[in-house]
Amino acid sequence: MSDSDQKQRRISTLLHKKEILLDALKNKVDHWQNNRIKMHVKSLSPACRSCYRGSSIDININHICSRKCFYCPVPVLHNWKPYVALEGVKVDKIENLVDLLRKFNIKVVSFSGGDPLLTFDLLEKYIRAIRQEFHSSIYTMVYTNADLLTEKRAQFFGEIGLDEIRINLSGRNFDMMPLKLAKKYIKRVTISSPVVPEEKEKMIDAFKEIDELGIDHINLIELMAAEYNLKNLKERKYIMKNNTAILDSEVTFYEILHHALKKKTKTPIHFCTADYKAKSSRQTRNLRYSRYAQGANESITPIGKIRQIFRRIETGRKVVIPAKKFSVNTDEQIYLQYYNTYVKEVPKTHKGKKIEINKDFYLATQKKPSKKMVLQGTLMLLLFQLLFIENKPVGEIVSHILIKYRHLVQDEKDLFENLITFYNQFDDEEYFGEPQLFSKQN
Ligand code: SF4
């Protein structure tokens, strides 16, 4: 059998398994979220609850690690000079970080790396500064492989009031000792591990002890491909769903969850998917910075994307239409462009638009197009206006079109189908989060 036939066979087997498992889990998992792209059983950690609201920030306290996990998506190189970064922006001065947290009203700060415990002095300095400036109004969290979690350090975390520690159980080959130590001192202890298909049995076997230890949450992360782990993932012949997520990892999660529910595991379990991670990190960044990057007559969608609606005049020139002035002109062609917003540090003398964080720390915004669309035809234009500009409820849209524009559709079913297709075209641009109108799989 050729390589490609073997691959096809593996894909069919995995998809079939996924269907069976999802069917078995159907009535047992009630917390599907964000248009059914992630799920959890029982409670979610406060940090996970706030992750897509724009008020949480992840700080890479360094870029070094004591491990070399094959799935690691970040460039952790040994002997790298540690530097503190936030979404690619270096924040080497504590006062700059403090002012930035204040400016954007940040409520959750997570420290990761590499492994933040490798530069413990630096980590300690940043946590102390946050506690001193914001007391308990900012939720703090540390992600670590726990190689360097000593009793003294766990005690420090407890005393300073660290809200949560996340330990990668897979990084230390399912060694439970660091969890026991963390539980002695730290308010909330979460297992945060990737779902590695080859480690399925170890994870299943660990549930009993996890329950006994009283671990607060199990956060299982779908394996995702990135520049730095792609070669390793390919060597294992995993199946990629869409250039990033790994199907083998997703199916393994459903198997693990199935076992956990059968064994009546008490610890809450959350599955953080690659799709969700990518969307939520874009959303938080956009919600924070888009209003500073917004151009004249552009609008911002509920998930923070900059929306540009425009028509082209004879010369081909763009004329941007403010969302509030958009109205349906039946034979018109309307163009849409959506943008993500990025920031970078710039000097005070920077000429373009900038966000002043304090007297010597400035960020400049950049916009990158994420989607271009052309809308044509009365029904499409109407749906765009009613759904995304006027945010009308579905019932109202249906009756409005059936009464005033009856000739555009055959019947109510036809209209409803058009509505769903149209709505789903804007996935990731106009909405993300709890489904507002439809669930994709309904
Ligand atoms: S422990 Fe975490 S940061 Fe370190 S190599 Fe593994 S996945 Fe990467």
Is there a domain that residue 70 lies in? yes
Atom of ligand 1 nearest to the CA of 67: 5
Is there a domain that residue 393 lies in? yes
Q: Could you say which of 256, 282, 308 is where a domain stops? A: 282
**Residue partners of 288: CB distance under 8 A and separation at least 6:** 54, 104, 304
Structural domain boundaries, residue 36: 3-282
CATH value at residue 26? 3.20.20.70
Residues 21 and 155 in one domain: yes
Residues 248 and 317 in one domain: no
In the predicted model, what is the mean pLDDT of residues 8-34? Answer: 85
- Calculate the average pLDDT of the chain: 90
Q: Is 192 in the pocket of ligand 1 (CB under 6 A)?
A: no
Q: Is 69 in the pocket of ligand 1 (CB under 6 A)?
A: yes
Residues 304 and 237 in one domain: no
Q: Is 65 in the pocket of ligand 1 (CB under 6 A)?
A: yes
Residue with the larger pLDDT of the pair 277 and 178: 178
Is there a domain that residue 433 lies in? no
Q: How many residues would you count in the chain? A: 442
For ligand 1, mutation pick of 59, 64, 67, 119 (most atoms within 8 Å of CB) = 67
Q: Could you say which of 259, 282, 305 is where a domain stops? A: 282
Residues 174 and 309 in one domain: no
Q: How many domains does the chain have?
A: 2
Distances (CA, A) of 380 to 140, 164, 245, 328, 376: 45, 47, 32, 10, 6
In the predicted model, what is the mean pLDDT of residues 85-94? Answer: 85
Q: How many A from CA of 165 to the centre of ligand 1? A: 15
**For residue 408, is pLDDT > 60?**
yes
Residues 163-213 pLDDT 10s: 999 999 999 999 999 999 999 999 999 999 999 999 999 999 999 999 999
Cα radius of gyration (the chain): 24
Given this model, what pLDDT does residue 77 score? 64
440: pLDDT confidence band, cut at 50, 70 and 90?
very low
In the predicted model, what is the mean pLDDT of residues 346-370? Answer: 92
Residues 148 and 176 in one domain: yes
Identify the DSSP state of 93.
S
Residues 23 and 62 in one domain: yes
Q: How far is CA 256 from the centre of its chain?
A: 22
Is there a domain that residue 138 lies in? yes
Of all protein residues, the one whose alpha carbon is nearest to atom 8 of ligand 1 is 72
Residues 346 and 272 in one domain: no
For ligand 1, mutation pick of 76, 165, 233 (most atoms within 8 Å of CB) = 76
Is there a domain that residue 227 lies in? yes
Residues 243-273 pLDDT 10s: 789 999 999 999 999 999 999 999 999 999 9
Atom of ligand 1 nearest to the CA of 145: 1
Long-range contacts of the stretch 283-286 (C-beta < 8 A, 24+): 283/52, 283/54, 283/432, 283/433, 284/51, 284/52, 284/53, 284/54, 284/55, 284/56, 284/57, 285/87, 285/340, 285/341, 285/342, 285/343, 286/54, 286/340, 286/341
This prediction's pTM: 0.88
**For residue 435, is pLDDT > 80?**
no
Residues 172 and 42 in one domain: yes
Residues 261 and 380 in one domain: no
Residues 337 and 189 in one domain: no
Q: Could you say which of 231, 261, 282 is where a domain stops? A: 282
In the predicted model, what is the mean pLDDT of residues 349-377? Answer: 93
Identify the DSSP state of 387.
I
Is there a domain that residue 289 lies in? no
For ligand 1, mutation pick of 117, 144, 168, 223 (most atoms within 8 Å of CB) = 168
Out of 7-16, 83-92, 121-130, 180-189, least confident range: 83-92
Task: List alpha helices for 237-295, DSSP H.
Answer: 247-262, 274-293
Is there a domain that residue 121 lies in? yes
Is there a domain that residue 437 lies in? no
Residues 160 and 206 in one domain: yes
In the predicted model, what is the mean pLDDT of residues 83-92? Answer: 82
Q: How many A from CA of 199 to the centre of ligand 1? A: 16
Given this model, what pLDDT does residue 30 score? 61
Residues 247 and 310 in one domain: no
